[in-house]
Structure formats: structure tokens, C-alpha cells
Structure 1
């Protein structure tokens, strides 16, 4: 099957959405499918045409940026060219160009699948509000034209206006693809020696330094955590310099980073075995996002498959990994006191929260995600359409182990 994946930013850009599409595309290629990614050339140093792990990548030059969006005059002609040569179009929202691709699919008789990763919520301001409304209009148009709409959890779909309109038609729940490179004990020990300065309680956060990630909630929770664990340390994995649209946010947090310099370390982007070693060095992972731009938190599963409990915020979708597995605590959104209490409870009784890492890893293997997508794609090509939304068997297995500590 020839599949066209379309999204605004692709690797080497780092975000949950780009990593999702990278893992899915690789797994589809490994299963014998032909995958092309159509995306933006957000960095002029990136090649226009590329092949990454067997995935063909076509990048369109950016003429203008509008907030975090991009304007690409050459996008339309390339989209026509590529859609003619594929069997199915897979769009990843939020994305300004999605309705144009969906319409091309309809006109050419190609099935269109739309995966809705999260809501778009731009910073305050009249201009950003206008951009937000335009993107919402585009998303709605793409949804009406798509043959199927995919998301991660029914919980998120039921609480998001965009997805709730598809609950009893078109909507399909597919677990996200999550994988990590192996890391040997020596590698993990070396990572700990480099970053933790001895055995001390380690709190992790794995996220871009972006407004919606709520990093300040963790920073404001630290005083209470340090009362209970005076030598606690936060390791923050993820990009924190030069992020488009986040310069003011980084500047606002800088005084807090300085205040807690002895207890908070920004590690930057970690890859491969280093990322796995990061998780294995943790006692607990923190998810403190603030709004529905976070729909699941893939990093939670990355932590859990390494035996690390999670303190998650009570956002639809984001709370699901913890509530499904019992592997952590959930606290109110934007509540430093609640987050501090959750972190302290986990640090005091960490072993009580650990569940089977093997079952968690198996439930989110990229090969399994790719196989579920492939089944959906083939059904659409046969003319079948999704019925009433049901959660996948993987989620039922996770709930079954919730009360069974490893």
C-alpha cells in the first residue's frame, strides 16, 4: 500500500506529534508499505528530498510564518502530484493545509484518514485568536471530508468539541506508537554519575520548554517537595533554546531556573540510549501540562515501560495512562500544591505504584499501532466505514492489571 503522511513539522523537529508520525511511518515501512511524508522545510538547511529509515520525506519551502503555522506556496502543486500516486492519504491535525488534502482525496477517490493529536491553543492576543479560529475552521472542513478520524483515547474525544462530533461515526481509537532504544546497565550508571551526583530522589520531566507544558507548575511545587526530600533533583529532558514562539516563556521562567539551580537541571534533547537511561534514572516522571494541546503524553508510557511511576495532571486523555494502569497519581491542572503532594506520595511508596513494564511496552509497540492503522486503511479501501467507537483491546488489558502490582 502506498501511503501519504502529511503534517506541518516532521523530524528532526522534536514534539510528540512528529515522534508519533516518525514511529508510525517506520513501522509501516517495516511491514512492507511505501510511505511518503509531505511536510514543511521549516529549516532551510534541511534537504528538500530525503529518505529517513526507509521513509521518503518531501519538504516544502516556507515563505512566511504565521504564529507557529507556515505558509508554503509550493505546497498545493506538490500535494496534487503526490496524492495521484498513493492509495491513501493520512493527515495529522492540527494542520492548516488539511482540508485541501482531504478534498484532493475525495476528488481522486482516495480514502482520507485524519489523526487528531491535540487542540491548538495559541498564546493570548487578538491576532493569535484570529489564527486559532481559522485553523479550527480548517480542521472542521477536513473532518467533514475525511473517511475516518483517529485519536488516542475515548476520554479525550469525549471532552474535546472537535472530536465529540465524531463519537458515534468516523471515530477510531488507536493506541499511539511508543518505542525506546535499549540502554545497558553501564550506560545507565554513567548517565547517573554524570547528571545526578549520587543517590537522591530524582523527578523527571520530558517536554519542550513550551507554554502549554506548564513547567512553572513543577517549579512552584518544588519548595514543598524539598521540605520532604531536601536533596531532590529535577532532570528536564527536551529542547529549551530557540523554540519558535516560546522565547518570552523561556525568559519568564529563567529566574525560577536560577533560584533552583541546585535542584533543577536542563539536559536538552536526549536521543537513543541516553533517553532510555534518563528514564531509568528517575524515581517519578511529572506531566504538568495546562490545556488540551496535550492529549495523552507519550512520555508517560516511555517512563512506565521502564518501571517509573507518573504524577500526571487531570486533563482528558493525559490522565488515562495513570488511571488505566494504576501506575501513579493524578492531580488538578495547574495546581502546584496538588502536584507536590502527588510527587511526595509516589516518592515515599514508589514500589507500590509499579506495574508490569512488559505488558505496558507490548500495548504500545509501533508494530501494533501500524497494524491497526493498516487494518483501518484496508477496510476503507474496500469501502467499509467505521461504526460506533470502541476502545482497543490493549486498553482493556492495561485496566485488568491495574490492581496487580508487579
Structure 2
């Protein structure tokens, strides 16, 4: 099958959306499908065309930026050519250019599938409000002209004004793809020594330094945590965030204030990213709004036996709610976050679950298979209006049963897909 994936930013850009598409596309390519990614040449140094892990990437030159978006005058030409080539057009929203691709799908009689990753909520300001409105309008046009709309969870689907209109019509629930590189023990130990983690309870956060991520909530919670666990230390893996310079400047005094307890790392990849998770005692997702729809990083943490303290946002709360592997906290409430972190650090074993079940539930091969099944059904004219949750989510809910929770601390190390030892070891 020839699959056209369309999104604004692709690798080497780092975001949950780009990583999602990369993992899924590579899994499809491994099965022999032809996958082409149409995206922006957001960095002029990037090649216009290249093949990455069997996936063909075509980048369109950018004339200028509008907030976090890009304007590409020649995008239409490339979109027409590739839409004609493809068997299926797969759009990833939010995306300004999506309606044009959806129309091309109609004209060329190609199924159009739209995956809605999250809402777009730019920082306050008259211009940003205008941009938000325009993109929302474009998203709605694309949704109306698509054959199927995909989201990660029913929870997010029912709470999102954009998605709720498609419930019972063309909304589908597909788990996101999550995988990590293997991490040999020497790499894990080297990471621990390099960042001087011995003797610390390590709190992790893996997020862009962006307004919606709520990093300040964790910073404000930190002194409350330190009062109970003075050995606590935050590691923040943070890729660069486009258009967030003002936010970074606003947080600079807090970073300076807690510099002895809060360490910022650059983008982590490969085995080093896995080592990051393997050295954590708890991961924090302190996001503030619906621009966060799930939080792939919490699955990466859970696969390694690391519990999560997550904001009570639709979709984001689901991994913890399904597995019992952590706590859900009030949005933007630093005191509630601090208490959740303290409880997890104080009784880590109570929050541990078998990692292999979690890893299997979000494997890229499974995600790709679900999409390919949907694509093939649409090509044959078969429609499913049920918006049924996948079987993988029912399996995850069994982890929240007392019997499973009781044996989990003993089995976490043996079932982890990347061989992590018990999470408590990281605090020794």
C-alpha cells in the first residue's frame, strides 16, 4: 500500500507528534508498504528529499513563519503530485494545510484519514488568538472532508469539542506507538555517574520548555518535596521549543533559584534516553491544557518501571488511571503535585506494574497494523461507527487490579522490555 503521511514538522524536529509519525511510518515500511512523509523544510540545512529507515521524506521550502506555523508557497504542487500517487492520505493535525489535502483526496477518490493529536492553544495575545481561530477553522474543514478521524483515547475524544462531533460517526481509537532503544547496563551506569545521581531520589520530566507544559508547576512543587525528601533531584530532558523564548525567560529566575536541585539536559535519544528513564524514581507530566492529549513519555517511563504523576487532563490521565501506576493530580496545583510525588517516592513498590504488558500495548507494529486495517477497510468501503476502544486498553486495566499490583514489584525487572532493575534501585 502507498501511504502519504502529511504533517508540519518531521524529524529531526522533536515532539510527541513527530515521534509518533516516525515510529508508525517505520513500522509500516518494515512490512513492505511504501510510505512518504510530506513536511516542511523548517531548517534550510535539511535536505529536500531523503530516505530515513525506509521512509521517503519530502520537505517543502518555508517562506516565513507565523507563530509556530510555517508558510510554504509551493506546498500545493507537492501535495497534488503525492496525493495522486498515494493509495491513502493520512493527515496529522493540528495543521494549517490539511483541508487542501482532504480536498485532493476527494477529487482523486483516495481515502483520507485524519489523526487529531491535540488542540492548538498558542500563548495569550491578539495575533495568537487570530492564528488559533484560523487553524481551528482549517482543522474543522479537514475533519469534515475526511473519511475517518483517529484519536488516542475515548476520554480525549469525548472531551475535545473538535473530536466529539465525530463520535458515533467516523471516530476511531488507536493506541499511539511507543518504543525505546535497548540500554546495556554500562550505559545506564555511565548516565548515573555522569549526572551524579547516587544518593538521590530522581524526579524526571521529559518535555519541551513550552508554556503548555507547566514546568513552573513542578518548580513550585519542588520545595515541598524537598522538605520531605531532601535528597530529591529533578532531571529535565528538554529539546528546544520554537517560539517559546518569552516563557523560558520567565522561568529563568526559578531555574536559578533551584539550580542545586534542578538539572536541565538537552535532547536525549537512543540508549541515552532509555538510561534517563531507567534512572528515575518518578516521572512528572505537569501539562496545563488540551494541547497535551496523552503524553507518550509516560508510557516510556512505565515500560521501565517508573510511576507517573500526571495532570488530570482528558487523555493524559488515562495511562495512570488504566494501570494504577502513579497518581493523577489537579491541573496547575503545585501542592497536589508535590503530595503525589512524595507519596510515590515514599512507597514506590505500590505503584510498580509489569513493564512488558505496557510495552506490548503500545508497540509501533500494533499501531501500524491498526492503521493499515483502517486504511484497507476504507478502500473497500467498509465503515465502523462504534468508536470502540482497542483490546490493548482492556488489558492495561487488568493491571489496576489488586492481585496484579501485589505481584508487580517482584516481576517488573523480568518483564521489562529493556531489562530495567527494580525502580527503587535508582535511589540507592
Q: Does residue 1:87 correspond to 2:87, yes or no?
A: yes
Distance 2:91 2:197 in 1: 45
User: Considering only aligned residues, what root-mean-square deviation do their CA atoms show, in Å?
Assistant: 0.7
Deviation at 1:200, TM superposition (A): 1.1
Displacement, 1:399?
A: 0.3
Q: How far apart, in 1, do the equivalents of 2:92 and 2:217 lie?
A: 29
Q: Helix, strand or coil: the match of 2:12?
A: coil
| Residue equivalent to 1:249 | 247
Which residue pairs with 2:359 in the alignment?
Answer: 361
Deviation at 1:197, TM superposition (A): 3.8
Give how far 1:30 is off. 0.5
Whole-angstrom CA distance in 2 between matches of 1:164 and 1:198: 47
- Please name the residue that 1:44 is paired with: 44
Q: Which residue of 2 aligns with 1:135?
A: 135
> What is the deviation of 1:199?
2.2
2:220 matched residue in structure 1: 220
* Superposition deviation, residue 145 in structure 1: 0.5
Q: Paired residue for 2:411?
A: none
Q: Matches of residues 176-215 of structure 1 in structure 2 within 5 Å?
A: 176-215=176-215
Work out which of the residue numbers 272, 275, 278 in structure 2 matches 1:274.
272
Q: Deviations over 1:286-340 (max 9, x none)?
A: 0000000000000000000000000000000000000000000010000000000
Change (3 A) 1:123 1:283: same
1:31 deviation in Å? 1.1
For structure 1, the 5+ residue unaligned runs are none
Match of 2:122 in 1: 122
Distance 1:402 1:32 in 2: 37
Whole-Å separation in 2 of the counterparts to 1:129 and 1:384: 39
Residue aligned with 2:129, SS: helix
Q: Are residues 393 and 67 of structure 1, via their aligned partners in 2, closer, same or farther at CA, if it must alter by over 3 Å?
A: same
Q: Do the aligned partners of 1:282 and 1:308 also contact (CA within 8 Å) in 2?
A: yes
Distance in 2 (CA, whole Å) between partners of 1:36 and 1:81 is 12
- Show structure 2 runs of 5+ residues with no match: 409-428
Which residue of the partner structure matches residue 338 of structure 1? 336
Secondary structure (helix, strand or coil) at the match of 1:270 reads: coil
Alignment partners' CA distance in 2, 1:227 and 1:381: 59
Distance 2:154 2:198 in 1: 42
The answer on whether the counterparts of 2:320 and 2:327 sit within 8 Å (CA) in structure 1 is yes
In the other structure, the counterpart of 2:28 is 28
Give TM-score scaled by structure 2 length: 0.94
| 1:322 corresponding residue in structure 2 | 320
For the residue of structure 2 that corresponds to 1:132, the secondary structure is helix
4+ residue segments displaced more than 6 Å: none
Aligned residues of 1:332 and 1:339 also touching (Cα < 8 A): yes
CA contact (8 A) 2:199 2:231 kept: no
Q: Which residue of 1 aligns with 2:294?
A: 296
Q: TM-score under structure 1 normalisation?
A: 0.99
Alpha-carbon distance between aligned partners in 2 of 1:197 and 1:339, rounded to the nearest angstrom: 22
Q: Residue in 2 aligned with 1:265?
A: 263
Does structure 2 conserve the Cα–Cα contact (< 8 Å) formed by 1:196 and 1:233? no
Distance in 1, Cα, partners of 2:256 & 2:360: 40
Q: Say if 2:370 is the partner of 1:372.
A: yes
**CA shift in 2, pair 1:280/1:197, >3 Å:** closer
Quote the Cα distance in structure 1 between the aligned partners of 2:152 and 2:209.
23
Give, in whole Å, the separation in 2 of the partners of 1:4 and 1:199. 49
Q: Following the alignment from structure 2 to structure 1, what is the Cα–Cα distance between the partners of residues 10 and 306?
A: 28
Q: For residues 324 and 207 of structure 1, what CA distance do their matches in structure 2 show? A: 22
Which residue pairs with 1:155 in the alignment? 155
How far apart, CA to CA, are the structure 2 residues paired with 1:108 and 1:260? 57
SS at match of 1:401: helix
Select the residue among 377, 387, 405 that pairs with 1:389.
387
Q: CA deviation at 1:400?
A: 1.3
Distance in 2, Cα, partners of 1:246 & 1:127: 15
